[in-house]
Amino acid sequence: MTKKDAELVVKYTFETITEALERGDKFQLVGFGTFDVAERAAREARNPRDGSVMQIGPSKSARFKAGAYLKKRVNG
């Protein structure tokens, strides 16, 4: 495989993962891990500069959970 072909494979893999997460779906790479979306509720926070209270709205965040094979390799 050429470097250019490898770059395309990686690009389209990331694009596929991104599109799945945009739809709210999970994306699993067996043995490697699972990507999904976590929803965060609205909350209050403090401004570190002046200590004032501010509201932070609800949001979504991408999350990754390592699979068994990856955990095993990382932990030796």
3-state secondary structure (DSSP) of residue 1: coil
Q: pLDDT tens, 12-22?
A: 999 999 999 99
- Which residue range forms the structural domain that includes residue 54? 3-74
- For 17, which DSSP code? H
Mean pLDDT throughout 1-20? Answer: 96
Which CATH number goes with the domain that contains 30? 4.10.520.10
The whole-number pLDDT of residue 66 equals 96
The yes-or-no verdict on residue 72 having pLDDT over 90 is yes
Number of domains within the chain: 1
The whole-number pLDDT of residue 76 equals 87
For the whole model, what pTM was predicted?
0.74
Q: pLDDT tens, 26-56?
A: 999 998 999 999 999 999 999 999 999 999 9
User: What are φ and ψ of residue 22, in 5° steps?
Assistant: -60, -35
